Amino acid sequence: MPGTLQANFYSVMGEELGHAALQAVDPRVVVRLDKSIPAPASAFRVSVSVQDAEGMNRGFLGNVILRPRP
């Protein structure tokens, strides 16, 4: 079932701060994710997930803790 990769941004307390669609995906096609997007200023963590055509979360692919630049 085709869908969309989505980035979800969270605060240090786990509150969702926002999200951004990254690209369309299809389970029959290998995906390469190589994209930069702006994060909310207070974002602590970003998670990448797959959303189906109805917007249903089909699973998280990974999480990364963001660190502020010096």
Over residues 8-18, mean pLDDT: 95
The answer to whether position 70 is within a domain reads: no
By CB neighbour count within 10 A (0-12 exposed, 13-18 middle, 19+ buried), where does 9 fall?
A: buried
What pTM does this model have? 0.84
Full residue range of the structural domain in which residue 39 is found: 3-65
Long-range pairs for 25-32: beta carbons < 8 A, 24 or more residues apart: 25/50, 26/2, 27/1, 27/2, 31/5
Is the predicted pLDDT of residue 67 greater than 90, yes or no?
Answer: no
Is the predicted pLDDT of residue 11 greater than 80, yes or no?
Answer: yes
Give the bridge partners for 5, in sequence order: 23, 50
State how many domains the chain has: 1
Strand segments (E) across the chain: 3-10, 16-25, 45-52, 57-65
The answer to whether position 27 is within a domain reads: yes
- 17-47: pLDDT as tens digits: 999 999 999 989 998 999 899 999 999 999 9
Is the predicted pLDDT of residue 70 greater than 80, yes or no?
Answer: no
